[in-house]
Structure 1
Amino acid sequence: MSTEFFEKYKYKLKSQEELVEIIGAFPREKKVIICHGVFDVVHPGHVRHLAYAKTKADILVVTLTQDKHIKKGIYRPHIPEGLRALNLAAFEMVDYVLIDENATPLNILKEIQPDFFAKGFEYASSGLPRATQAEADVVDSYGGQMIFTPGDVVYSSSKFLNLSLPQLQLEKLLLLMQLNDISFDNLRVTILKLSDYHVHVVGDTIVDTYTRTTFIGGQTKTPTFSVLYQGEDNYIGGAGIVAQHLRAAGAKVTFSTILGNDKLKDFVIDGLIKSGVETSLIIDQTRPTSHKNAIISGGYRLLKLDTLDNTPISEEILQKLTNSIQQTPADAVVFSDFRHGIFNRSSVKTLTKAIPAGVFRVADSQVASRWGNITEFKKFDLITPNEREARFALANQDSGVGRLASFLLEDCDCNNLILKLGDKGIFCVAQNEELKTPAFSIDSFANYIVDAVGAGDALLAYSTLTMLATGSLVMAGIIGSMAAACECEIDGNIPIRTQNILAKIDEVEKMIGYKTS
């Protein structure tokens, strides 16, 4: 899709109010017919349906189900509503396209009152389903007529999608940027503004060790793997890498955390000092520095050895953290929760209350395998859980990601949500329904996966700074996703720098076709 495609057909995209003004009240001189559906993939059955409908009226209006109301699968629709609307607008036979903000077309039918409402033959071949009967009742109430298109060709979008999922990463991105008046140069300018802010990170530090081995074989008498030790690499992880990502972006960073009195403490302190992170460290004599050692062979994680203490911090330490939050000037406070002692149901409330008024509040809770819950972080400006954590928190394994995100946004009463979907990218939703795109998805920008560990931390850091710089969830989602992709493409949990993001922006822009060198 190009800018020219968007500009050429967007004139057909109308709001309900605009459409009512254009076609006039029922009964009208020029007959109007409406076809309604999801149209996730426009296929031959749809084309026959639309073509037949156009023969019955002067004006063909196609109304689309909004993304958040689609229940055909957890990750449906694959094509976002804006692009689905443009695809239909490109057909000569289609006069206008309307994205329906309601779950059913009943309100559209009541307000627009088309002369005809067209349904596929399959909806009438064995008696009207309840939903179709409700639509027929509305049409009958004002004197309109239901029309069922011939059933000689019947296709299902779901069957097509089950055969092959559409690859529309760049088209979706370009449309999202166009709808929100964002250019690639806007992204670059934003990256250069990220150093203007001071962020206070509060959370659990983890030392991640990669113990690298070569697989020798298994024992003959016991089910035991035998590996040859090759070496190991240590990385600052958990909330510590979030702080380092922020600092690598140029921001001023203060990091409040708890460490044990051990050798790993020295490793963490030395790494934070070298990266330029200002620290507010608390040494807890009763617990170790959290340590996670992954035994790796041939790129596979054979085993992970954890050394940690998840018991709640003492009241004395909680008070120290509270004082640190209250006394540290910052544009944003980020709670990075791995549920290793700092955050629990009681302490979350205390620490949240300590955040000064007017400070941007962010929370990320990576606790799906332990007793933690992202919904404990109420009224935050941005939360960034992954899909598993969201389903764990809401006890919801069935809803599509759009509805799941909406449920979580409402439960947490937060302003902005970025739901991480792993290799499927992210789904974002904002409380502000006046936005051009209050809900949208962005596919992953990773070209290849070397090590996905830490991608969410990179997204958290860069999304936070972008929200501070622009206030735009769309910009935050794009730049955060690019940071996550950069992290996936390197081995180990290493801070992502602005030059990495700028290179990714250049790469994506060139793929779309705007840059020739």
Structure 2
Amino acid sequence: MRNEISTIIELSEANFYSNCILGYGHFNSIHPGHIRYLKHAREINKLFVVAILKDLSCEGLIFNQTERANSLAQLGIADAIILLPDNSLNKAVKKINPKEVILGKEYENSELEDIKETIKTLHKTKKSIFFHAGEISYASSELLTISEDNLKNKREKEFLKALERQNITVDCLREASKNIKKSNLIVIGDSILDQYTACEAIGMSAEAPVIVVKELDQKNFLGGASIVASHISSIGSSCKFISIIGNDGEGSWIRNSLKENSVISELIIDQSRPTTFKKRYLVENQKLFRVSRLDDHMITKEMTKLILNKVESLSCESEGIVISDFAYGLISDELIEGLEKCAKKNNLKLYGDSQSSSQIGDILRMKNFTLLCPNEKEARIAMNNKDIGLDELCRKLMDKTNCQNLIMKLGANGFVVYSKSLNNSLQIQAFPALSVNPVDVSGAGDTLLSIMATGMCNESSIMKIAALACCGASIAVDTMGNNPIDIDKVLNKAIQIISKN
């Protein structure tokens, strides 16, 4: 039976693990991708040892080997953490003589001499080697094994560890929340009317296997890019919103709601399509199904030119452009190209999100952005790779899009921030999902994008803004429907977590 905390030893002391499976890496900032890898190794062999790389400035490591080993040991997944003295995996294999070695998928065709020599050594001694990043899951099953209260405490402690690792104090968060209110942004994207219809379950139809419900009440909410604009305005920043609507009642409702939320909007009526409308049917807090009314053909060249002209006219008084693409035809390749040119010309930052739930989007269309916010499934589809580890996926995505910062959304497992430094090394930090039993997850990504864009406009530290976004997303999912966020409530949530722990 292993201890709750792994043992940390020098390689010279590793004489008793010849039947183990050996893992390997630097583990600069522990996140869900690492945990997948570690748990998968544990499933292969109950005796599990991890060799951890020493400090290398060229890798952009912000924590030394001992600090990284201690963080890994706290997870208690491995039996022992071995401190490599010279970063040679091959020497470690010869010293430990493990039964198996497990490496990330990115090492399978590695040109690194040490890795190639390690593979030769293992083949020569007839030992097994696996290349696997762990099982990918887009949901969490933790509530099956841990109580809601305990899971909440666990995630709050993870949040506090993230703050500690990034030297983020309450004063830092207060200052960041003040700066958030000083931004001036243009938001472009699909306008959606989200309607929630509360129902009473009557039973099963006698004529066919169909659930019968009785409508009780309904409520409309802003959705898509229109709620992103409303979040930004509610935070206290200035926001100009450009979108298209149909010549219908739903479009009029969106226009009036944006006005009530103090959003300055430029809504172009497209006679060729209805306003995108989504109706969700619920019994209690359970969603039964959704009905969508939409037309997702791409906008015309004339409309693209009209939108770009509006953006250009607003650029002189703006600091950034937020593109919230739900893949319903507004964000065309031509429009993205024009927005990138406009941003470069006027020194504006670009913030982007391409959501692909029931539709097909492509985050790779967004190049040279200050920030991109895909979820893991969207990123893997875009990169056409379901096997590589999370860190390698994000590195490749950042290289391909040339974005400066990336937030990889992991659903119930929170999100991971990747930020390039001046020397192109990556700073990485995971933040947990603070809400353990959410009511409605549909607004988390919109809230995160809104807080990140407003915060980063004023040169605030990405990690400080991410900490606030973590709290904001948890508030968003604890109520039904998408409601404009209050940044003071977000700050208070962070302070409450810090105060009680």
Q: Same fold (TM over 0.5)?
A: yes
Q: Give the direction of change, closer, same or farther, for the CA distance of 1:72–1:216 in structure 2 (3 Å limit).
A: closer
Question: Could you say which residue in structure 1 is the equivalent of 2:69?
Answer: 85
Deviation, 1:118, is 4.1
Q: Residue 257 and residue 77 in structure 1: after superposition, are their counterparts in 2 closer, same or farther (change >3 A)?
A: farther
Q: 8 Å contact 2:33–2:391 — kept in the other structure?
A: no
1:74-126 Cα shifts (integer Å, max 9, x gaps) = 84468999564235799xxx9996799xxxx33x88xxx99x974255369xx
Any idea what SS the aligned residue of 1:409 has? helix
Counting only pairs closer than 5 Å after superposition, residues 168-317 of structure 1 correspond to structure 2 as: 169-317=155-303
Q: Distance in 1 between matches of 2:223 and 2:82?
A: 52
**AA aligned opposite 1:342:** L
Query: Could you tell me which residue of structure 2 aligns to residue 47 of structure 1?
Result: 7
Q: Which moved more, 1:435-444 or 1:486-495?
A: 435-444
- Partner residue of 1:502 out of 468, 491, 496: 491
CA shift in 2, pair 1:478/1:69, >3 Å:
closer
TM-score (normalizing by structure 1): 0.73
Flag the 1:54–1:379 CA change in 2: closer, same or farther, 3 A.
same
Deviations 1:8-57 (A, max 9, x none): xxxxxxxxxxxxxxxxxxxxxxxxxxxxxxxxx9858963965970899x
Kept in 2: contact 1:75–1:400 (CA 8 A): no
Is contact 2:179-2:460 (8 Å) kept?
Answer: no
Q: Name stretches of at least 5 consecutive residues in structure 2 with no aligned partner.
A: 17-22, 40-49, 53-60, 75-79, 102-108, 119-133, 135-140
- The 3 A distance-change label for structure 1 pair 198 and 137 is closer
Q: Is the 8 A contact 2:440 2:481 kept in 1?
A: yes
Name the CA distance, whole Å, in 2 between partners of 1:191 and 1:435.
28
Which amino acid is 1:409 matched to? M
Return the match for 1:461 from 450, 453, 456: 450
1:343 aligns with 2:343: no
Please state how far the C-alpha of 1:438 moved relative to its aligned partner. 1.0
Question: Against the structure 1 CA distance between its residues 423 and 136, is the aligned structure 2 distance closer, same or farther, given a 3 Å change threshold?
Answer: closer
Question: In the superposition, relative to structure 1, how do residues 67 and 95 fare at CA in structure 2: closer, same or farther (>3 Å)?
Answer: closer
Amino acid at match of 1:305: V
Deviation at 1:177, TM superposition (A): 2.8
Call closer, same or farther: CA 1:376–1:307 in 2, change over 3 Å. Answer: same
Unaligned stretches of 5+ residues in structure 1: 1-40, 57-62, 125-129, 140-157
Alpha carbons of structure 1 residues 198 and 99: separation in structure 2 relative to 1, 3 Å: farther
- Correspondence for 2:348 among 352, 359, 378: 359
Contact 2:186 / 2:318 at 8 angstroms: preserved in 1?
Answer: yes
Give the whole-Å Cα distance in 2 for the aligned partners of 1:315 and 1:99. Answer: 61
Q: CA separation in 1, counterparts of 2:312 and 2:355? A: 24
Tell me which of the two structures has the higher relative contact order, counting C-alpha pairs closer than 8 angstroms and 6 or more residues apart.
2
Match status 1:394 vs 2:383 = yes
Q: Compared with structure 1, are the counterparts of its residues 42 and 374 closer, same or farther at alpha carbon in structure 2 (3 Å cutoff)?
A: farther
Q: Which has the larger radius of gyration?
A: 1
Letter in 2 for 1:462: I
Q: Is the 8 A contact 1:243 1:253 kept in 2?
A: yes
The aligned amino acid for 2:189 is G
Distance 1:88 1:121, change over 3 A: same
Residue in structure 1 matched with residue 46 of structure 2 by the alignment: none
Choose 369-378 or 167-176, whichever is displaced more.
167-176
Name the CA distance, whole Å, in 1 between partners of 2:357 and 2:481: 22
Tell me the equivalent position of 2:106: none
Q: Secondary structure at the match of 1:257?
A: strand
Do 1:194 and 1:466's aligned partners in 2 also have CA atoms closer than 8 Å? yes
List aligned pairs for 1:35-74, cutoff 5 A: 43=3, 47=7, 53=13, 65-67=25-27
Q: SS at the partner of 2:226?
A: helix
Distance 1:491 1:44 in 2: 38
